[in-house]
Structure 1
Amino acid sequence: MSRRRPTMKDVAEHANVSVSTVSYVLNDSGPVAQERRNRVLDAIRLLDYSPNQSARSLKRRSASTVAMVVPDLTNQFFALVTEGVQRAASSLDVLVVLIVPDGTEAAEEKQAKLLRSQRVDGVIYLSGTGSMPASIYDLARSGPVVLVDEQIPGRDLPAVICDSRRGAREVATYVLDQGHRRLAVVGGPPALWTAQQRLAGYREAFAWAGIDPDSVPVYPGDYREESGAAAADTLLALPEAERPTALLCANDLMAIGAIERLTGHGLSVPRDISVAGFDDLPVSRMLTPKLTSVRQPAHEMGYRAAMALFRLIDGESETVDEQLPVTIQIRESVRPPR
């Protein structure tokens, strides 16, 4: 039996760096500290790794094009994912066609039909609705499609995701550990896998703390600031003695909208109410107070999704499903209740 050829992932694991760092070193396409570069080069020599030659042929293919479907570039998280895709594509001289529907199923279907008429080698798909247009699924029958940050029920497609459930569980546990027992959640779009996973993680933390998850109100949200503000309006309408002392928001934009509305009505965050988010957008570290959040490696997700797509285009059969870890960023927006 022939020995399995070492992959870029093997090199990354041996050197204790990310796959993107290995690619930066191989393609000289990004800044890498000298100590990390040396570790990568040592791993390449030790494992006798050689870049996939057919992947190299992608770099020489002048007309190679892939599509990136992203629901909204005003959301920094989506923009960072897209940057990761672009970084991977540029390292192989692959053109990225950016498709930005308005987040509705009708718009996604319209853009998908347009995409079918173009000649692209593959598609990276970030759903804004929790579903996949039939036209995109038709594309998947004839060419590779990789999902990023979502999984779509009934669609057996490769995906690069983060452990949203664990992240939500851990940030909720942190808030509970501060002594909060009157809580509320601002959920994401119910059809989205990420929103379902985050709500499940919150509910697990409540149950483990002895709180009936069904007793915790879940305000509807759509991952936009306006829905966070609307949730804050609902909270403000409650008698002060019944208001939650902590608000868990399924993404940072909704947390920002909630904080702006709460402080605009004279409440102090976190003195009167603690607020936590999810995604750890760059803007979240610039707020007053700085936002406690769950960090997702958005750029890395985009990069890995693109590299997974290129491997599929290249005909490699290795599994490309990946789940990346998340980390809790503890900052100033959560404190013990008064």
Structure 2
Amino acid sequence: MNNLNRKITIKDVAKRAQVSIATVSNTLNNAEIVKPETREKVVRAAQELGYIPNLMGRQLRSGETKMLGIFTDSISGPYFNTLIGAIANEVDRLGYGMHVIVTNSHNAVMDSVLGGIVDGAIMFEHRIGQMDITQIKNHGLPTVLIDRVDSGKKMSSITFDSMKMGHDATKYLLNLGHKRIGYVDGFSNNYDSNMRKAGFRQAINEAGLDINDMPILHGMYEEEIAYNAVKMYLYQTKGQLVTAFIASNDQMALGIIKAIQSSGYQVPDDFSVIGFDDIELAQYFRPSLTTVRNSIERQGVMAVHELIDMIHGVDGGKKEILPGKLIIRESTSIAKSD
């Protein structure tokens, strides 16, 4: 009886190609012992029959899934689009697949990380605490952190030099004569936001200015939230206003500029604005945005390579810190004299 719905097996491929089952298995697993002409016959037979390898069986035999996990609490916005795109392209180029796990559940993240569904993890996940990091280290899953600095035998981190660039951006404004600068931060549990703010504070202290005179507004990495925060600040402040703002990302910086303009002021004539990341829109916005350029694509590619190296037995332990660069555009200028 000819069952058209019968699943094609490796035995069927071997019969069509007129080789042994072992030869088919070696071919599908890219073993070097298979001759090129034999490999071509097996591949052609598998394609003709529509054979689909049993990936779960291969995983059980090899202990590998050929899948990498990207764990994050958000994939919205230009930063994540660039990062995830760079990771996906490199993962595909190197012959792996990837799961992107976006969840607000701490337990779901840890179950996925430790559950054996991936060979390694790239993590940008704020709900993961130090106890979780220790558990992941003990479990031995190769992991690259891109939102905090840590390391272990099977753990590395690749982060931006956010503190230095927060310092440098603030010092640039100070050198332009700005003595009252507002800072618009992201999430309180975000590494980059906290480091950028720490660099801001350091530069203010080095200049001999009172950090308490520098308002900290909360923008939550969102353009609209930053817009509302700055709009409210400009409306409610009765004393001297700041003359410049630094935002922890470009989306918030664009929201700040819109809030300034909708309040009857101009950038940079009345207020200077600096962002972070140098998203594509930053150069086309009017006024074009002065910002800190971070190597987002490079971070993604480096994370993939470091992770696959650890999967293949290379020890981790790296704490890579990528430099940034201040890009001067139209949204900053010399402060007006009081």
TM-score (norm 1): 0.74
Asked if 1:86 is matched to 2:84, the reply is no
Report what 2:15 is aligned to.
Answer: none
Asked if 1:68 is matched to 2:33, the reply is no
Separation in 2 of the partners of 1:100 and 1:231?
27
Q: Secondary structure at the match of 2:276?
A: coil
Q: Secondary structure at the match of 2:203?
A: helix
Q: 1:158: how far off?
A: 1.6
What letter matches 1:180 in structure 2? H
1:32-56, Cα deviation, whole Å (9 max, x unpaired): xxxxxxxxxxxxxxxxxxxxxxxxx
Report what 1:178 is aligned to.
Answer: 176
Separation in 1 of the partners of 2:137 and 2:191?
22
1:293-327, Cα deviation, whole Å (9 max, x unpaired): 11110010011011111011011125432111110
Report what 1:288 is aligned to.
Answer: 286
Q: Which residues of 2 match residues 147-158 of structure 1 at below 5 A?
A: 147-151=145-149, 157-158=155-156
Separation in 2 of the partners of 1:153 and 1:219?
32
1:183-230, Cα deviation, whole Å (9 max, x unpaired): 111122122221221111011111222212232111123211133113
Structure 1: where are the runs of 5+ without partners?
A: 1-59
Report what 1:143 is aligned to.
Answer: 141
Q: 1:127 to 1:116 in 2, by over 3 A?
A: same
Q: Secondary structure at the match of 1:277?
A: strand
Q: 1:80 to 1:181 in 2, by over 3 A?
A: same
Q: Which residues of 2 match residues 258-277 of structure 1 at below 5 A?
A: 258-277=256-275
Q: Is contact 1:262–1:268 with CA below 8 Å preserved after alignment?
A: yes
Q: Which residues of 2 match residues 120-139 of structure 1 at below 5 A?
A: 120-129=118-127, 131=129, 134=132, 137-138=135-136
Q: Is contact 1:277–1:292 with CA below 8 Å preserved after alignment?
A: yes
Q: 1:148: how far off?
A: 1.0
Separation in 1 of the partners of 2:234 and 2:325?
31
What letter matches 2:331 in structure 1? S
Structure 2: where are the runs of 5+ without partners?
A: 1-61
What letter matches 1:80 in structure 2? T
Q: Is contact 1:160–1:301 with CA below 8 Å preserved after alignment?
A: yes
Separation in 2 of the partners of 1:75 and 1:285?
16
Q: 1:284: how far off?
A: 1.2
Out of 319, 322, 326, the residue aligned to residue 321 of structure 1 is: 319
Q: How large is the Cα RMSD of the aligned pairs?
A: 2.8
Q: 1:279: how far off?
A: 1.1
Q: Is contact 1:130–1:191 with CA below 8 Å preserved after alignment?
A: no
Separation in 2 of the partners of 1:199 and 1:158?
24
Report what 1:53 is aligned to.
Answer: none
Q: Secondary structure at the match of 1:335?
A: coil
TM-score (norm 2): 0.74
1:67-120, Cα deviation, whole Å (9 max, x unpaired): 11133222211221212222321221000111122xx4xx34324424544521
Identity of aligned residues (%): 26
What letter matches 1:64 in structure 2? K
Report what 1:162 is aligned to.
Answer: 160
1:209-267, Cα deviation, whole Å (9 max, x unpaired): 22122321111232111331132123212457611110111111111111122212222
Aligned residues: 275
Separation in 1 of the partners of 2:296 and 2:166?
16
